Chains A and B, each alone.
Chain A
């Protein structure tokens, strides 16, 4: 089981949980509606995708992409159940 989270990142069970954890919960519905409904789908998101989804604020883009780097590291290490 993924019980590490020393960086406060942990393993996220859903896209909504992940976005809430980084205080970007306002985008949950947009992600779900556009097919980014699982963490492995979200791991593929690029800056272009974010812009297309309507995440236009550079701070929010930065926050989401930075967090995705961490999530991707966890996926690579098999810490997140897909």
Chain B
């Protein structure tokens, strides 16, 4: 369970401790992670402001990669 893509992504962000909670809440691939905003982080239980910022920045990068690939 902890070898999935979301775990790898969180590990790269140095936040692997949230992987289980991401997966438990249905955020188990990067497509669904692209749609993460503040309410999602509330449900997952990412409370530390620095961690939230780091994840939201990474979500924005995922979306930008998408836009670049589409364009």
Contacts and interface: CB of A to CB of B under 8 A. Distances in A.
Interface of A: 23, 56-64, 66
Report the contact-size class of chain B (Cβ under 8 Å from the partner): 10 to 19
Nearest to A62: B26
A59 B25 contact: yes
Contact of A61 (B24, B26, B28): B26
Interface of B: 22, 24-28, 32, 35, 39-40, 43-44
Contacts, number: 32
A63 B25 contact: yes
7 contacts: A23-B24, A57-B39, A57-B40, A58-B35, A60-B26, A62-B26, A62-B32
Contacts of A62: 26, 28, 32
The A contact surface, by secondary structure, is: helix
B33 to A, nearest CB: 8
A58 B24 contact: no
Contacts of B32: 58-59, 62
Contacts of A58: 26, 32, 35, 40
A58 B25 CA distance: 9
A80 B35 CA distance: 34
Nearest to A65: B26
Given A23-B24, A59-B27, A59-B43, 6 more contacts: A23-B25, A57-B25, A57-B39, A58-B26, A59-B28, A60-B25
Nearest to A63: B26
